Amino acid sequence: MIRPFSLSDLDAILKIEQESFPKSPYDRMTFIELHSFCPETFLVYTETSADQRNQVWGYIIFIPEGRIISIAVLPSQRRKGIGKELLQKAMEIPDLKRLQVEVRRSNLGAQVFYSHLGFEKIGISKNYYGNEDAIIMQWIPIS
């Protein structure tokens, strides 16, 4: 199930973040700020486990004007379609003109993921991550 983030998800989100972006994870305060900035477009993917616990497997944060801020899925739950389901929520924004995301040049897995969903590489942002370039990828809805 995909639903809006709530503050009780924070510990689970921080675990996903640290395992997904070990070089530069967002911290607790950044997620709290992003939640107040994007209350309706900070979404989590959850599943109810056999013992009925609510597990958070992934998240996406996007700006409705058409920019992905971040997306990540817990490593143990990848390649099951969760990332795709989360990204499709952003792709379904009404009247969207374009959707853009920056990806580390070294993050080939994410580049293939976005390409698989119809994104194209449109440019490079030099040293966007300090010592590493970002590849700018874009998806344009078929009108």
Ligand X SMILES: CC(C)(COP(=O)(O)OP(=O)(O)OC[C@H]1O[C@@H](n2cnc3c(N)ncnc32)[C@H](O)[C@@H]1OP(=O)(O)O)[C@@H](O)C(=O)NCCC(=O)NCCS
For ligand X, the binding residue among 101, 119, 135, 139 (CB under 6 A) is: 101
Structure tokens at 74: 């817990």
Whichever of 49 and 52 has its CB closer to ligand X, that residue is 49
The stretch near ligand X (CB under 6 A) out of 33-41, 47-55, 71-79, 120-128 is 71-79
For ligand X, the binding residue among 28, 97, 116, 121 (CB under 6 A) is: 116
Task: Report if residue 78 touches ligand X, rule: CB under 6 A.
Answer: yes
Task: Report if residue 3 touches ligand X, rule: CB under 6 A.
Answer: no
Whichever of 82 and 99 has its CB closer to ligand X, that residue is 82
The stretch near ligand X (CB under 6 A) out of 36-44, 47-55, 104-112, 124-132 is 104-112
Structure tokens at 116: 């698989």
What does the H/E/C string look like for 15-77?
Answer: HHHHHHCCCCCCCHHHHHHHHHHCCCCEEEEEEECCCCCEEEEEEEEEECCCEEEEEEECHHH
Q: Identify the sign of the CA torsion 101, 92, 29, 80.
A: negative
For residues 82 and 75, the answer to whether their CB atoms sit within 8 Å is no
Task: Tell me the sheet residues that pair with 19.
Answer: none
Whichever of 35 and 83 has its CB closer to ligand X, that residue is 83
Whichever of 35 and 57 has its CB closer to ligand X, that residue is 57
Helices (H) and strands (E) in the chain, counts: 4, 7
Residue ranges binding ligand X (CB under 6 A): 20, 71-73, 78-84, 101, 103, 107, 109-110, 112-113, 116
